[in-house]
């Protein structure tokens, strides 16, 4: 589950991780009020307006139809007010959102951290994630902060450092110090960085994050270490022990069809193709998508109906797939094991009759327990449903449907 | 021979008296698996499905001599159940549970390094040795005995592959569902190695998917050590990057864990790679003739 920057920063503060302070607002009036408060707290006329969406590249992205960037510095109350007016309600298009962009309903009014002071400021990169191959958490960091880290990794791999955390002992002091030394820090900034990294790792574990990225990790002119931006992903499997975090989900950031599918307990991912599919099991669902492509079509979705394919799930699946006007055919591919194929077939027939006007070809491939009986049920139903038993037969039917 | 489980395996069920545990234990017993009892904390001393129930795995091992355990407990308690089994000296733990928090598995993986226990899963359909023992949730009747071993991250694709191998007249020795989570007990390479060393297995079907580097690791091992034909399929050629496709581990993170990249490495290492899942059985039969 993805979180917004403002939500992630609030959580980090609970773990004593210093952040660029800010106030999230959803109206221009509230933005002005937030600016006054921040100016009052910091004594600085400057403040940053940051669009809150689940995608990166906000600083370079633009609001559709305007010259407004998704992150901008306001130099006065009027300035901040205008920027907020431009961003709120607009659609922000960044390199990560795709051309459709994302609607912005909240902005974070944040303190300007590039204030002058005795020492130069510095930007670093640091993230914590799972190293699947080692089965350990790894801290990845670089002196090249504020940039696209994949580009840094590609062009200058020697500037990326990694520190693996031994699961039995957790992050050790020497590891946090090594990171701060590699950043080239000393004195107060060094001490602050060691504390920052230690507390950030506690937050990563305590919140059951699957990814936590601070870019830039910032050294201020007065030697503070703070998180200026934060990208946080939570492990959905762990939400059962974090009831408070589950409430942070912003469904407006998700595809509405995917949200609806979730309500039926269907695992659905929207794609751009012309052949819908409904499958039991995630691996077979991906394989079915691949087969659609090989047959000359393009998969319109990923849909795993799970272990219990019955009339209700099939009907819900039909409804969700058919919301997409690009869908020209639907392939149902069920390998019946514990679930009997004849039951699934009855479910398909029931759902089909209930839906009434389905006017695109439906191909049903049922294999496994009672497959023959299932095929007979479909063939004798009088419905315009084509049946198959072998996967290769189903592929042929898809080929004909998209030809 | 066969690998991991056979008719002599003594199996206990953790989460024995729950709905899932009861249903699948019944199916396993019907298949002929030697289920010797189960564990449900607090219900020790009673009987369930005519088998003894124990409070702890250690009790179960002491009283029954169990050497295999299958876990059906809910995700919040599954990591604990795996470690309990390992601590009691169970040699093979099969964890069916889906949805275990990944940080729990980081701990489990580390814990198991101090033990001799092998873990299969989690989030897997289990292990079956045809006509001998089913320690899992797969439909047993599909797995007719024969000479093909299967290693797979996916449940229903395992059934699909087994069905095709049986229809091609080859049959199944042992099928190992290793699971679709980011951290699993037995890797693709380890499972392939077990089957490569099994005299009853003449060919191997290896089914992977997007995400992680396990298929590439297995392929490199096969290139160096392989003595039997291997047919490979990687699901998710059409999956978009950055999206989780059902399995917690099925997500494209970089250029190396796409289906195309994995298929290329597999082919370079001498694995017969199929583009379509419909061709698995046919290709295995052809590979065996060579």
pLDDT tens for residues A362-384? 999 988 888 889 899 999 988 88
**Nearest chain A alpha carbon to B106:** A135
Residue B25 near residue B35, CB atoms below 8 Å = yes
Chain A residues with CB-CB distance to B155 below 8 A: 281, 283
> Which of B22, B95, B103 to mutate: most A Cβ within 10 Å?
B103
pLDDT at residue A304 in the model: 92
Whether A368 has its CB under 8 Å from any CB of chain B: the answer is yes
Same domain membership, residue B204 and residue B252: yes
pLDDT of residue B290: 81
Q: Note whether A239 and A3 are within 8 A (CB).
A: no
| Closest listed residue to residue A215, CA positions, set A194, A235, A199, A200 | A200
- What residues make up the domain containing B49? 11-120
Torsion angle of C-alpha atoms B155, A341, A306, B180, degrees rounded to 10: 10
- Arithmetic mean of pLDDT over chain B: 95
CATH number at residue B152: 3.40.50.261
CB-based contact, B133 to chain A, within 8 Å: no
* Cβ pair A282:B250 closer than 8 A: yes
B205: alpha, beta or left? (left if phi > 0; alpha if psi -120 to 50): beta
Domain assignment present for B132: no
Q: Which residues of A touch B138 (CB under 8 A)?
A: 337
Q: What gap in Å lies between CA A110 and CA B245, rounded to an integer?
A: 36
- Bridge partners of residue A269, in order along the sequence: A302
CB atoms within 10 A of CB A83: 26
Verify that B73 and B162 share a domain, yes or no.
Answer: no
Are both A88 and A141 inside the same structural domain?
no
- Local confidence band at B256 (pLDDT 50, 70, 90 cut-offs): confident
- Which residues in chain A have Cβ-Cβ distances shorter than 8 Å to B183? 130, 132, 135
Question: Closest Cα of chain A to B288: distance in Å?
Answer: 21
| Overall domain count for chain A | 3
Residue B113 sits in the same domain as residue B251: no
Looking at the fold, whether B223 and B265 belong to one and the same domain comes out as: yes
> CA A337, CA A352: separation in Å to the nearest integer?
23
Domain of residue A355, CATH code: 3.40.50.261
Residues in chain B with CB shorter than 8 Å from the CB of A282 are: 154, 180, 245-247, 250
What's the pLDDT tens digit per position in B172-211?
999 999 999 999 999 999 999 999 999 999 999 999 999 9
**Shortest alpha-carbon distance between residue A280 and chain B (Å):** 7
Residue with the larger pLDDT of the pair A81 and A322? A81
| C-beta separation of A87 from A81 below 8 A | no
Would residue B131 count as lying in a domain?
no
Contact between B266 and B234 under an 8 Å Cβ cutoff? The reply is: yes
Q: What is the mean pLDDT of residues B225-230?
A: 97
User: Given an 8 Å threshold on Cβ–Cβ distance, is A137 in contact with B106?
Assistant: yes
Q: Could you write out the DSSP letters of every residue in B30-83?
A: HHT--EEEEE-TT-TT-EETTEEEESSHHHHHHHH---EEEE---HHHHHHHHH
The alpha carbon torsion through B162, A343, A347, B18 (nearest 10 deg) reads: -80
Structural domain ending residue among the three candidates A217, A246, A275: A246
- In this structure, the answer to whether residues A283 and A392 fall within a common structural domain is yes
Q: How far apart are alpha carbons A315 and A261 in whole angstroms?
A: 11
Does A143 share its domain with A76? no
Q: Are B264 and B237 in contact (CB under 8 A)?
A: no
- Rounded-to-integer distance, Cα A321 and Cα A307, Å: 19
Sheet holding A385-388, edge to edge: A267-270, A301-304, A275-279, A329-336, A362-368, A385-388
Q: Does B262 touch chain A (CB under 8 A)?
A: no
Please check whether residue A146 lies inside any domain of the structure: yes
Query: Could you give the 3-state DSSP secondary structure of residue A160?
Result: strand
A230-275 confidence digits (pLDDT tens): 999 999 999 999 999 999 999 999 989 999 998 888 899 999 999 9
Q: Is the Cβ pair A294, B275 closer than 8 Å?
A: yes
- Is a pLDDT exceeding 90 seen at residue B241? no
Rg (CA), chain B: 18
Looking at the complex, does the CB of residue A262 fall below 8 Å from at least one CB of chain B? no
- In this prediction, residues A114-136 reach a mean pLDDT of 95
Model's pTM, two decimal places?
A: 0.92
Contact B154/A298, CB-based, under 8 Å? no
Same domain, A320 and A374: yes
Q: Which residues of B touch A288 (CB under 8 A)?
A: 277
Query: CB neighbours of A108 closer than 8 A, spacing ≥ 6?
Result: A5, A6, A22, A23, A24, A25, A48, A49, A50, A52
With residues binned 3-state (H G I as helix, E B as strand, rest as coil), the percentages for chain A, rounded to 5, are: 40, 25, 35
In this prediction, residue A306 has a pLDDT band, given cuts at 50, 70 and 90, of confident
- When CB atoms are compared, the residue of B104, B154, B245 closest to A302 is B245
Chain A closest CA to B103's CA: distance in Å? 7
Sequence-ordered strand ranges (E) for A55-186: 62-63, 71-74, 91-93, 102-103, 107-111, 122-131, 136-142, 160-165
Residue A303 sits in the same domain as residue A391: yes
| A383 vs A380: CA distance, rounded Å | 8
Q: A260 and A392: one domain? A: yes
Q: Indicate left, alpha or beta for A223 from its phi (over 0: left) and psi (-120 to 50: alpha).
A: left
Active site residue A125: yes
Residue of B nearest to A334 (CA): B156
Of A205, A368, A390, the CB nearest to B159: A368
Q: Cis omega (within 30 of 0) on the bond before A216?
A: yes
| pLDDT at residue B247, as a whole number | 84
pLDDT value, residue A383: 86
For residue A388, is pLDDT > 60?
yes
Residue A187 has pLDDT above 90, yes or no: yes
Q: Is A213 an active-site residue?
A: yes
Q: Can you give the pLDDT at residue B128?
A: 98
pLDDT grade, residue A314 (50/70/90)? Answer: confident
Q: Is A320 in the same domain as A218?
A: no
Radius of gyration of chain A (CA): 26
Q: Are residues A304 and A346 in the same domain?
A: yes
- Structural domain includes residue B239: yes
Task: Produce one character per residue of A43-52: b if its CB has 16 or more CB atoms within 10 Å, e if not.
Answer: eeebbbbbbb
Assigned domain for B3 exists: no
Residues 5-44 of A with CB under 8 A from B: none
- Interatomic CA distance for residues B285 and A140, integer angstroms: 46
Does pLDDT of A308 surpass 70? no
For A81, the domain range is: 21-111
B246 has a pLDDT exceeding 60: yes
pLDDT number for residue A351: 87
Alpha helices (runs of H) in A88-242, residue ranges in sequence order: 149-155, 173-182, 187-206
Using a CB–CB cutoff of 8 Å, tell me whether B90 touches chain A: no
Number of domains chain B contains: 2
Please give the interface size between A and B, counted as residue pairs whose CB atoms are below 8 Å apart: 170
Cβ neighbours of residue A76 under 8 Å, at least 6 residues apart? A45
Tell whether B153 and B260 lie within a shared domain: yes
B116 and B153 belong to one structural domain = no
- Using an 8 Å Cβ cutoff, are A283 and A87 in contact? no
Q: Is the pLDDT of residue B1 over 60?
A: no
Q: Note whether A403 contacts B: Cβ–Cβ < 8 A.
A: no
Per-window interface: B 162-221 vs A, CB < 8 A: 163-164, 180, 182-183, 207, 209-213, 217
Q: What is the mean pLDDT of residues B121-141?
A: 95
Predicted confidence band of residue A348 (pLDDT cuts 50, 70, 90): confident
In angstroms, the CA A291 to CA B194 distance is 30
- 3-state secondary structure at position B13: strand
**B52 and B168 assigned to the same domain:** no
Asked if A78 reaches chain B (Cβ–Cβ under 8 Å), the answer is no
CATH number of B103's domain: 3.40.50.720
Q: Which residues of B touch A280 (CB under 8 A)?
A: 156
The verdict on residue B79 lying in a domain is yes
The DSSP call for residue A107 is E
Q: Looking at the structure, do residues A50 and A136 belong to the same domain, yes or no?
A: no
Searching chain A, which residue's CA lies closest to the CA of residue B162? A368
Rounded to an integer, the average pLDDT of B106-135 is 96
DSSP letter at B127 equals E
Residues forming a β-bridge with A131: A136
- CA A383 to chain B, closest CA, distance in angstroms equals 26
**Residue A147 contacts B where some CB pair is shorter than 8 Å:** no
> Which chain B residues touch A392 with a CB distance below 8 Å?
276, 278-279
| pLDDT classification of A283: cutoffs 50, 70, 90 | very high
Paired residues of A329 in beta bridges = A275
Query: Is residue A13 in a domain?
Result: no
Structure confidence by residue, pLDDT tens digits, A41-70: 999 999 999 999 999 999 999 999 999 999
A149 vs A155: CA distance, rounded Å: 10
Residue with tokens 């004849």: A342
Residue A385 has pLDDT above 70, yes or no: yes
User: A124, A227 in Cβ contact below 8 A?
Assistant: no
Rounded Cα distance between A24 and A8, Å, is 12
The catalytic position among A5, A144, A163, A213 is: A213
């Amino acid at each position: 589950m993805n979180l917004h920057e403002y939500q992630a920063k609030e959580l980090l503060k609970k773990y004593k991780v210093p952040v660029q302070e800010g106030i999230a607002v959803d109206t221009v009036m509230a933005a002005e009020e937030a600016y006054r408060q921040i100016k009052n707290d910091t004594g600085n006329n400057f403040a940053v307006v940051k669009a809150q969406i689940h995608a990166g590249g906000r600083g370079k992205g633009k609001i559709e139809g305007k010259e407004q960037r998704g992150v901008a510095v306001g130099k006065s109350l009027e300035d901040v007010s205008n920027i907020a007016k431009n961003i709120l309600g607009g659609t922000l298009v960044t390199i990560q959102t795709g051309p459709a962009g994302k609607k912005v309903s909240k902005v974070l009014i944040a303190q300007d951290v590039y204030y002058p002071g005795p020492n130069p400021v510095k930007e670093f990169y640091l993230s914590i994630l799972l190293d699947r191959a080692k089965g350990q958490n790894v801290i990845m960091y670089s002196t090249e902060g504020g940039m696209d880290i994949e580009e840094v990794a590609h062009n200058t791999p020697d500037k990326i450092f990694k520190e693996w955390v031994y699961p039995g002992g957790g992050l050790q002091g020497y590891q946090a110090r090594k990171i701060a030394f590699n950043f080239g820090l000393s004195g107060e900034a060094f001490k602050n960085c060691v504390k920052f990294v230690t507390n950030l790792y506690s937050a990563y574990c305590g919140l059951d994050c699957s990814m936590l990225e601070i870019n830039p990790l910032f050294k201020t002119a007065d030697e503070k270490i703070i998180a200026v931006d934060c990208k946080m992903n939570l492990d959905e499997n762990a939400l059962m022990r974090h009831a408070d975090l589950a409430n942070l989900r912003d469904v407006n950031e998700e595809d509405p069809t995917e949200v609806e599918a979730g309500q039926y307990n269907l695992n659905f991912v929207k794609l751009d193709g012309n052949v819908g599919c409904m499958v039991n099991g995630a691996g077979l669902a991906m394989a079915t998508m691949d087969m659609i492509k090989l047959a000359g079509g393009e998969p319109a979705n990923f849909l795993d109906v799970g272990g219990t394919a019955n009339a209700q799930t099939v009907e819900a699946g039909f409804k969700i797939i058919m919301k997409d006007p690009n869908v020209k055919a639907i392939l149902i591919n069920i390998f019946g094991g514990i679930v009997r194929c004849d039951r699934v077939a009855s479910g398909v027939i029931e759902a089909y009759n209930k839906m009434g006007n389905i006017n695109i070809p439906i191909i049903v491939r049922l294999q496994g327990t009672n497959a023959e009986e299932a095929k007979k049920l479909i063939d004798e139903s009088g419905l315009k449903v084509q049946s198959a038993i072998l996967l290769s037969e189903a592929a042929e039917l898809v080929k004909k449907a998209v030809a | 021979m066969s690998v991991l489980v056979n008719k002599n395996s003594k199996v206990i069920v953790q989460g024995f008296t729950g709905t899932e545990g009861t249903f699948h234990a019944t199916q396993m017993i019907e298949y002929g698996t030697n289920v010797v009892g189960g564990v449900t904390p607090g219900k020790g001393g009673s009987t369930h499905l005519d088998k003894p129930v124990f409070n702890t795995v250690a009790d179960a091992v002491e009283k029954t001599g169990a050497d295999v355990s299958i876990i059906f407990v809910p995700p919040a308690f599954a990591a604990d159940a795996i470690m309990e089994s390992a601590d009691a000296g169970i040699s093979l733990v099969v964890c069916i549970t889906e949805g275990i928090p990944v940080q729990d598995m980081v701990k489990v993986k580390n814990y198991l390094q101090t033990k001799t226990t092998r873990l299969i899963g989690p989030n897997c359909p289990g292990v079956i040795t045809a006509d001998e023992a089913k320690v899992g949730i797969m439909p047993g009747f599909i797995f007719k005995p024969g000479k093909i071993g299967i290693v797979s991250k996916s449940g229903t694709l395992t059934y699909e592959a087994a069905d095709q191998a049986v229809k091609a007249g080859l049959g199944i020795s042992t099928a190992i569902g290793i699971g679709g989570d980011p951290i699993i007990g037995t890797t693709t390479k380890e499972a392939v190695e077990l089957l490569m060393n099994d005299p009853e297995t003449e060919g191997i079907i290896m089914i992977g998917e997007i995400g992680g580097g396990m298929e590439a690791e297995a392929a490199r091992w096969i290139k160096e050590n392989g003595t039997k034909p291997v047919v490979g399929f990687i699901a998710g050629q059409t999956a978009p990057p950055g999206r989780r496709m059902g399995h917690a581990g099925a997500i494209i993170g970089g250029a190396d864990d796409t289906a195309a990249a994995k298929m290329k490495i597999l082919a370079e290492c001498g694995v017969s790679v199929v583009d379509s899942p419909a061709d698995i059985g046919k290709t295995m039969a052809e590979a065996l003739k060579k």
